[in-house]
Amino acid sequence: MVLMLASIKGVGLETAEMLVAEVLSRKLRDRRAVARYGGLTGSPDESGSRSREKGLARSGNARVRRGMIQLAWRFLMFQKESALAKWFEARTAKWTERRAQTMIVALARKLLIDLWRFVETGPCWSASSCSTPGREPERRTPGLDRRLGFPTLC
């Protein structure tokens, strides 16, 4: 699993080992549980009719949170043509650097969820592994390989 993650451009061995040890080796229910465990969710503040976000919740694994934010910045450097990087650039094109720093948490959350899906469903490299007769098709996330910067081969 570590080598599979390390094969993604921008993800090093240390980052892959940390992700496997801290997050990806656990049985998490869904994408929301993955984001909560990684500490990459918002902290709502509701009082009466007023509702707002106070910022990043401090619950969750701080090591994963720090590592994912660093990985998100590296991902933008090395994966400029990926769908996630284009999504981030489109969202932050008119903003100041301070707002881009806030938006990097959203990119880190999306990246962690995509890496979790990548590990859960596995990469699809050849047409024979995508559809084997007599076997149920795997749950695939449309465009996941493209979002992580892999060429689409199936």
Helix axes 83-92, 97-121, angle to 10 degrees: 160
pLDDT at 78 over 70: yes
User: What pTM value is reported for the model?
Assistant: 0.75
Burial class of 49 by CB neighbour count within 10 A (0 to 12, 13 to 18, 19+): exposed
119 or 147, greater pLDDT: 119
How much is the pLDDT for 111?
Answer: 92
Measured CA distances, 9 to 6, 59, 68, 106, 113 (Å): 7, 29, 15, 20, 17
How much is the pLDDT for 139?
Answer: 47
How much is the pLDDT for 152?
Answer: 47
CA–CA separation, 37 and 49 (whole Å): 29
Q: Concatenated DSSP letters for 66-113?
A: HHHHHHHHHHHHH-TTSHHHHHHHHHHTTS-HHHHHHHHHHHHHHHHH
Cβ–Cβ < 8 Å for 64, 56: no
How much is the pLDDT for 124?
Answer: 52
Cβ–Cβ < 8 Å for 31, 113: yes
CA–CA separation, 8 and 35 (whole Å): 20
Mean pLDDT, rounded, of the chain: 78
CA–CA separation, 2 and 47 (whole Å): 44
User: How do residues 93-136 score in pLDDT, each as one tens digit?
Assistant: 887 777 788 889 999 999 999 999 888 887 653 332 333 333 33
Strand partners, 53: 44
The confidence band for 145, taking pLDDT boundaries of 50, 70 and 90, is low
Most confident region among 19-23, 40-44, 49-53 by mean pLDDT: 19-23
pLDDT at 59 over 90: no
How much is the pLDDT for 72?
Answer: 93
How much is the pLDDT for 135?
Answer: 38
Q: What are phi and psi of 43, to 5 degrees?
A: -120, 100
Q: What are phi and psi of 56, to 5 degrees?
A: -75, 130
